[in-house]
Amino acid sequence: MHILEEAFRARGKLMEFFIAQVLNGLSLGSIYVLLVTGFNLMLLVAKIIQFAYPQFVVISMYATWAVLRATNNVILAILVTIVVSIFLNLLSEPIFRRITSIKGTDINATFVASIGLSMVLVEIMSHSLNQGFPISFSDNWVGGSVFRYGIINISRSSIFAWVGGIIVVVAFFYLLYRTMVGRLFRAIAENRHVAKLFGIPIFKTSMMSYLIAGLLGGFIALLLSMLIGTASPWLGESVALKVLAVSIVAGLGNLKGGLFVGLALGVVESVAIGYVAGSWSNVIAFVIMLIVILAKPKGLFGAAVE
């Protein structure tokens, strides 16, 4: 039995402990939801598998940290983070466009390229940023506890992750279903050929998807830096694997499915951390996802792309 579980069982606080883990999981899940949403958007519209997307989020976290350290100006840090994230995503567009324009390549080529890009970014970060040491954010940025009931402790950053997650998701789906840009996104996602026949500008719309994913990435960087209070050059890759897994388990490119599976992964991971040794939580999460994929190869909610 896990030592924490044992301790709380002894004090009759098992339920409280479980609730605490679920709440933590929901904050982490919000982050996964936002990540998989940006990832799926580029998959659907730009037709790329952007494995390096979480790396851009991590670099943006470094930007947040650098601005806070240099100026201690929160507004400036938020703005710079978002701008850096958008900039990185837009900057990657010509690379992917070049790869997809080569005759005979398909979406898998973008996957391989983005894995390569991800490795390069890890190397650059581990050599050039903070001499490769992990960074940690100030207590002011992370914030303290705002609510405590027994062992249930709700931090400011958790509330930011929940509320921020909900606001961003609602805004994103509003954009997707109620605006012309959203219709263009869905049109290209459904059928690129028909979109072309309609006279829809494929390139411009694709660029818009990078921009929106970049904007999302900026929010993610801010929320994640508050939630975990730290970042390292290796954070992005473990996150990227999970984002990819969430997208596949939900059904590749299935935006609504991603919401559910993203949240579920956060909760499963967090609860697993509570009951077994931390390093096993990844294994448990991935084994569950493996079982789901074996049972439903097109994902729980059906793949939106082939």
Partner 1 sequence: MNNNGTTFLKMNNVNVFYDSIQALKNISLEVAKSEFVVLIGANGAGKSTLLKSILNIQAPKGSIKFKGKELTKLHTDKIVANGISIIPEGHLIFNSMSVLENLQLGTYHGKKKEQSIENIFGYFPILRERKEQTAGTLSGGEQQMLSIGRGLLSDPELILVDEPSLGLAPKIVNDIFDILVKLNNVGYTILLSEQNAKKSLEIADRAYVLETGNIVMEGQADDLLNDEEIKDAYLGGSI
According to the binding rule CB under 8 A, does residue 305 interact with partner 1? no
According to the binding rule CB under 8 A, does residue 202 interact with partner 1? yes
**Contact pattern from residue 168 through residue 197 relative to partner 1, giving x for each residue in contact according to CB under 8 A and a dash for the rest:** ------------x--xx-xx--xx-xx-xx
Min CB(200)–partner 1 separation in Å: 6
Cβ count within 10 A of residue 5: 15
Of 142 and 200, CB closest to partner 1: 200
Residues 252-271 that bind partner 1 (CB under 8 A): none
Min CB(259)–partner 1 separation in Å: 18
According to the binding rule CB under 8 A, does residue 138 interact with partner 1? no
Min CB(181)–partner 1 separation in Å: 11
Min CB(293)–partner 1 separation in Å: 25
According to the binding rule CB under 8 A, does residue 203 interact with partner 1? yes
Of 21 and 205, CB closest to partner 1: 205
Burial tier of 88 (Cβ tally within 10 Å: 0-12, 13-18, 19+): buried
With contacts defined by CB under 8 A, name the span among 59-67, 130-138, 202-210, 224-232 that binds partner 1: 202-210
Of 149 and 203, CB closest to partner 1: 203
Min CB(113)–partner 1 separation in Å: 24
According to the binding rule CB under 8 A, does residue 198 interact with partner 1? yes
Of 123 and 190, CB closest to partner 1: 190
DSSP character string of the chain? --HHHHHHHHTT-HHHHHHHHHHHHHHHHHHHHHHHHHHHHHHHHT----TTHHHHHHHHHHHHHHHHHHH--HHHHHHHHHHHHHHHHHHHHHHHHHHHHSTT--HHHHHHHHHHHHHHHHHHHHHHSGGGPPEE--HHHH--EEEEETTEEEEHHHHHHHHHHHHHHHHHHHHHHHSHHHHHHHHHHH-HHHHHHTT--HHHHHHHHHHHHHHHHHHHHHHHHHHH-EE-TTHHHHHHHHHHHHHHHH-TT-HHHHHHHHHHHHHHHHHHHHHS-THHHHHHHHHHHHHHHHH-TT-SS--S--
Min CB(202)–partner 1 separation in Å: 7
Min CB(261)–partner 1 separation in Å: 21
Of 46 and 113, CB closest to partner 1: 46
Q: Strands 152-155, 230-231: parallel, antiparallel or unpaired by DSSP?
A: unpaired
> Between 3-10 and 14-45, two packed helices, what is the crossing angle to 10 degrees?
140
Choose which of 75, 199, 279, 295 interacts with partner 1 (CB under 8 A).
199
Min CB(47)–partner 1 separation in Å: 17
According to the binding rule CB under 8 A, does residue 200 interact with partner 1? yes
Please give the residue ranges that form the binding site for partner 1 (CB under 8 A): 180, 183-184, 186-187, 190-191, 193-194, 196-204
